[in-house]
């Protein structure tokens, strides 16, 4: 199955993508995780990435499109994938849609995680205590939520309109296990 997750930072889509991808035995493609892994290289690029990410800004479309197209053409993606954190801009979305077209690929499910920003702020402040992510403090969270509204929300609308019959809106304020159950049900239906 080929799935795209949309939702603001802190909506729990990373946690759910991890659980669902292992349940369905497909690749979890979190661009945030891939970029955080790159930060460990400690070279010129990683220093630049660190600066952008710690401020809550978006990394360039060029870098992201390259990362994702490489991953999508790898054999690990043959069985399917969950895109988590990409596409985040209209330019990324245009790139992805034309990539899918060119390679004769189709999405099976589009999931939108809906949650209010107050809950997100509380969640991220808690996560910062556990995971020590440099972009998990209140100032940066506000920037990340702004970026989401300006850049990514419009992309989720494009997908909702274009893949209307495959799109689902999830109440992401529910318990992790409840959301997971709902997702598995949706995935089962999506397979038919």
User: What is the smallest separation between the CB atom of 37 and ligand AMP, expressed in angstroms?
Assistant: 11
User: What is the smallest separation between the CB atom of 191 and ligand AMP, expressed in angstroms?
Assistant: 27
Among 19, 58, 91, 186, binds ligand AMP (CB under 6 A): 58
CB of 109 closer than 8 Å to CB of 3: yes
118-127: list long-range contacts, CB under 8 Å, 24+ apart: 119/10, 119/173, 120/8, 120/9, 120/10, 120/11, 120/145, 121/10, 121/145, 123/10, 123/12, 124/9, 124/10, 127/10
Q: Among the candidate windows 27-35, 102-110, 158-166, 176-184, which touches ligand AMP by CB under 6 A?
A: 27-35
User: What is the smallest separation between the CB atom of 103 and ligand AMP, expressed in angstroms?
Assistant: 19
Structure tokens at 26: 């497909």
Structure tokens at 105: 């690929």
Q: Which is nearer to ligand AMP, 24 or 29 (CB)?
A: 29
Query: Could you say which residues in the range 81-110 bind ligand AMP, by CB under 6 A?
Result: 85-86, 88, 92
Among 39, 59, 90, 125, binds ligand AMP (CB under 6 A): 59
The site that binds ligand AMP (CB under 6 A) totals a number of residues, namely 17
Neighbours of 65 (CB within 10 A): 19
* DSSP result, 124-160: HHHHHHHH--TT-SHHHHHHHHHHIIIIIHHHHHHHH
Q: How far apart are CA 29 and CA 40, in angstroms?
A: 18
Q: How far apart are CA 52 and CA 46, in angstroms?
A: 10
List 27's β-bridge partners, or say none: 81
Q: Which is nearer to ligand AMP, 53 or 170 (CB)?
A: 53
Binding to ligand AMP by residue 7, rule CB under 6 A? no
Binding to ligand AMP by residue 52, rule CB under 6 A? yes
Binding to ligand AMP by residue 31, rule CB under 6 A? yes
Query: Could you say which residues in the range 123-142 bind ligand AMP, by CB under 6 A?
Result: 135
Binding site for ligand AMP (CB under 6 A): 9, 31-32, 35, 52-53, 56-59, 64, 85-86, 88, 92, 135, 144
């Amino acid at each position: 199955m080929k799935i795209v997750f949309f939702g603001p930072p802190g909506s729990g889509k990373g946690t759910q993508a991890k659980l669902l991808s292992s349940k369905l035995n497909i690749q979890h493609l979190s661009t945030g995780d891939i970029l955080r892994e790159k930060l460990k290289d400690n070279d010129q690029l990683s220093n630049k990435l660190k600066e952008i990410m710690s401020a809550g800004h978006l990394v360039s479309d060029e870098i992201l499109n390259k990362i994702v197209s490489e991953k999508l053409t790898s054999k690990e993606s043959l069985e399917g994938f969950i895109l988590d954190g990409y596409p985040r801009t209209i330019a990324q979305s245009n790139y992805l849609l034309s990539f899918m077209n060119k390679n004769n690929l189709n999405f099976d499910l589009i999931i939108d995680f809906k949650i209010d920003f107050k809950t997100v702020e509380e969640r991220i402040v808690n996560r910062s205590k556990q995971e020590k992510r440099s972009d998990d403090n209140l100032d940066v969270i506000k920037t990340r939520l702004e970026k989401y509204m300006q850049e990514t929300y419009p992309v989720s609308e494009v997908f909702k309109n274009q893949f209307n019959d495959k799109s689902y809106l999830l109440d992401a304020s529910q318990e992790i296990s409840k959301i997971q159950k709902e997702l598995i049900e949706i995935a089962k239906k999506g397979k038919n």
